[in-house]
Amino acid sequence: MTQPLRLADGGRIDRDKPLSFSFNGHRYRGFAGDTLASALLANGVHFVGRSFKYHRPRGIMTAGPEEPNALVQVGEKAESEPNIRATELPLREGLVARSQNCWPTVEYDVGQVNDLLSPLFPAGFYYKTFMWPVSLWPTYERHIRKIAGMGVSSYERDPDHYDHHYGFCDVLVVGGGPAGLAAALAAGAGLDAVKAGLETLSQVAGRFNVHSLPGDITLIDDTYNANPESLQVALDVLAQAQGDSWLVLGDMGELGADAAALHGAAGRQARKAGVSRLYGLGELAQVAVNAFEGPGGAYTTMDELLVALQQEMNGPLHILVKGSRRMRMERVVAALGVKPKAGEMH
């Protein structure tokens, strides 16, 4: 298998490493260091594609990423990829590539009839010609879509694995509560689709996760973060619980000059919500405990807080654990017997 246009020596190739590849069903040879373009030229292959509109013959024009003509389809079946520049594709053993925008072959392309009829196809003619009669537009569109575009994407499942995945959608509904469900239904999603989506939902650690512990104790893990507004919502839910309810509160951060006053208000909100005990961790949480004016206590270390909780816990009881991220209140949840699920992260 000769390479008639290959120089006898020189170049950035390794002549001790020959490679075999296929282009348009024909077998060729090249060397390590070749691009597909350089290997094709060395084998005397110049005709690699057709122009987009008139299907005129096109050959390799450049040696880099600016190449306008040598766009090829690489691979087969699920691993087929369109619009790869032959000038940027390193040659490898067993590479399979073929020309695009031609049928049945690049040499004998039915689409070249467009070149013969080019006087009838001035620039922009399709924007006017296919607008009438309106009733024929669906027929026009079906045929235009068949000849539009370059290359063919595979319909088979991609067998590769990727570090990053970019998902695209026409409508994104954020949230699975009543508002989110109403938005999904308004966007045209059926009840079955909404149900299927909810069944795939997995909770994020620390986002109001409810756990049942031995001794008729219910622990509510809301440790992902905390601010006065989210604390009030959590207390409103806790107020509906039967039996005693405790609040274990870590400092709420990033509240500025009003931090102490807001923590004091949090203590009073807890008392109003019917919380029977308030346990605090941190200097600001102590302000909340003082304003609560009830059983519980303020602690400066996690160990002290855990000892106090474990000594007093008796069901039936609901315990809400909340605090800013820097307080790492998930340690309370773990110490009270909740094991994190595989892959769960705060």
CATH number assigned to the domain comprising residue 272: 3.90.190.20
Q: Which of 171 and 318 is assigned the larger pLDDT?
A: 318
Domain that holds residue 138: 1-152
Closest CA to 100 of 84, 77, 116, 121: 84
Q: How confident is the model at residue 177 (pLDDT cuts 50, 70, 90)?
A: low
Whether 186 shows a pLDDT value over 60: the answer reads yes
Beta strands 95-99; 14-23: pairing state: parallel
| Structural domain includes residue 162 | no
- What pLDDT, on a 0 to 100 scale, did the predictor assign at position 242? 81
- What pLDDT, on a 0 to 100 scale, did the predictor assign at position 298? 93
| Structural domain includes residue 342 | no
Are 235 and 327 contained in the same domain? yes
- What pLDDT, on a 0 to 100 scale, did the predictor assign at position 290? 95
- What pLDDT, on a 0 to 100 scale, did the predictor assign at position 346? 47
Q: How confident is the model at residue 345 (pLDDT cuts 50, 70, 90)?
A: very low
Are 107 and 190 contained in the same domain? no
- Read off the pLDDT of residues 194-236 as tens digits, 9 standing for 90 and up: 778 777 777 677 788 888 898 889 999 988 888 999 899 889 8
Whether 336 contacts 344, CB under 8 Å: no
**Structural domain total, the chain:** 3
- What pLDDT, on a 0 to 100 scale, did the predictor assign at position 127? 64
249 bridge partner residues? 280, 322
**Average pLDDT of the chain, as a whole number:** 87
Whether 343 shows a pLDDT value over 50: the answer reads no
> Model pTM greater than 0.75?
no
Helix or strand (DSSP H, E) at 288: helix 283-292
Whether 271 contacts 247, CB under 8 Å: no
Look-up of token digits 């490493």: 17
Arithmetic mean of pLDDT, 75-92? 92
| Structural domain includes residue 107 | yes
Q: Which of 44 and 129 is assigned the larger pLDDT?
A: 44
- What pLDDT, on a 0 to 100 scale, did the predictor assign at position 96? 96
CA 203 to chain centre: 18
| Structural domain includes residue 99 | yes
Are 286 and 303 contained in the same domain? yes
Q: Distances from the Cα of 127 to the Cαs of 33, 51, 267, 331, in angstroms?
A: 46, 20, 69, 66
Whether 86 contacts 43, CB under 8 Å: no
| Structural domain includes residue 74 | yes
- What pLDDT, on a 0 to 100 scale, did the predictor assign at position 143? 76
Are 47 and 114 contained in the same domain? yes
Are 143 and 17 contained in the same domain? yes
Arithmetic mean of pLDDT, 244-251? 94
Q: Which of 123 and 112 is assigned the larger pLDDT?
A: 112
Are 30 and 148 contained in the same domain? yes
- What pLDDT, on a 0 to 100 scale, did the predictor assign at position 148? 66
- What pLDDT, on a 0 to 100 scale, did the predictor assign at position 340? 60
Phi, psi of 337 (to 5 degrees): 115, 10
CATH number assigned to the domain comprising residue 147: 3.10.20.440
Are 187 and 76 contained in the same domain? no
Are 182 and 234 contained in the same domain? no
Whether 176 shows a pLDDT value over 70: the answer reads no
| Structural domain includes residue 285 | yes
Whether 155 shows a pLDDT value over 70: the answer reads yes
Are 122 and 5 contained in the same domain? yes
| Structural domain includes residue 314 | yes
Are 196 and 178 contained in the same domain? yes
CA Rg value for the chain: 34
Whether 192 shows a pLDDT value over 60: the answer reads yes
- Read off the pLDDT of residues 314-339 as tens digits, 9 standing for 90 and up: 878 999 999 998 999 999 999 988 76
Whether 341 shows a pLDDT value over 60: the answer reads no
Arithmetic mean of pLDDT, 66-88? 92
| Structural domain includes residue 89 | yes
Are 16 and 142 contained in the same domain? yes
Are 196 and 284 contained in the same domain? no
Phi, psi of 311 (to 5 degrees): -75, -30
